[in-house]
């Protein structure tokens, strides 16, 4: 990969800049965001220069899944994060082609990948990162005078029924990633 083809990452510090570095030297974390309208969070040719300077990317105005993921990676004490909506210039076909062509490298360079499996859109929180964002249902059934606890879905069931699992690139993500962390609402 040439310097012009290197994937950008977010450098997780205060303030946030997009950072272009030799990705082969980075231990980065990856977040798979849910598709949908950019809601002003996508990196475009118009905002790339601004986002590349310290303070140019305001995490507090990002949708819930993205801002919570940035917070989580900060709490883990890590420096780099790759989020497709932010690290691929969305209205630049050449950049998209290069970045999509480098997905195998991006996936294999990731220490782990964060999945918002409990979210239905990018606006939802990353369940469990902030207080009161996870709502486990503890259901109790009463049968013949007995109170029986109905357990919440096991992780595999929650992930299988998630919006994430219905996306087209799910198989590729599972096969190429070293480590996956799923956040569900349970």
How many distinct structural domains can be found in the chain?
A: 1
Q: Look at 24-38, 94-108, 135-149 and tell me which has the smallest mean pLDDT.
A: 24-38
Supply the pLDDT for residue 173: 67
Per-residue model confidence as pLDDT tens digits over 98-116: 888 888 777 777 888 888 8
Give one DSSP letter per residue of the chain, joined into a string: --GGGPPEEEE-SSSB-EEE--GGG--EEEEEPPPS--TT-S--TTTHHHHTSTT-B-GGGS-HHHHHHHHHHHHTT--EEEEHHHHS-TT-HHHHHHHHHTHHHHHHHEEEEEE-TT-SSTTS--TTSSTT------EEEEETTEEEEEPPPPHHHHHHTSSGGGSTTHHHHHHH-S-EEE----
- Mean pLDDT, rounded, for 68-77: 86
pLDDT tens-digit series, residues 32-43: 555 555 556 888
Whether pTM > 0.75 for this model: the answer is: no
Domain enclosing residue 134, as ranges: 3-182
Residue 24: what pLDDT?
45
């Amino acid at each position: 990969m040439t310097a012009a083809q290197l994937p950008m990452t977010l450098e997780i510090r205060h303030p946030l800049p997009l950072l272009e570095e030799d990705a082969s030297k980075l231990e980065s974390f990856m977040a798979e965001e849910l598709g949908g309208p950019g809601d002003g969070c996508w990196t475009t040719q118009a905002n790339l220069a601004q986002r590349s300077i310290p303070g140019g990317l305001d995490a507090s105005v990002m949708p819930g899944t993205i801002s919570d993921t940035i917070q989580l990676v900060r709490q883990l004490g890590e420096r780099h994060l790759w989020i497709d909506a932010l690290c691929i210039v969305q209205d630049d076909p050449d950049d998209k082609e290069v970045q999509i062509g480098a997905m195998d490298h991006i996936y294999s360079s990731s220490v782990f990948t964060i999945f918002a499996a409990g979210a239905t859109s990018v606006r939802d929180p990353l369940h469990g990162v902030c207080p009161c964002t996870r709502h486990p249902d503890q259901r109790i059934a009463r049968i013949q005078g007995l109170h029986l606890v109905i357990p919440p879905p096991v992780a595999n069931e929650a992930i299988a029924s998630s919006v994430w699992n219905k996306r087209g690139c799910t198989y590729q993500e599972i096969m190429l990633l070293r480590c996956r962390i799923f956040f569900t609402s349970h």
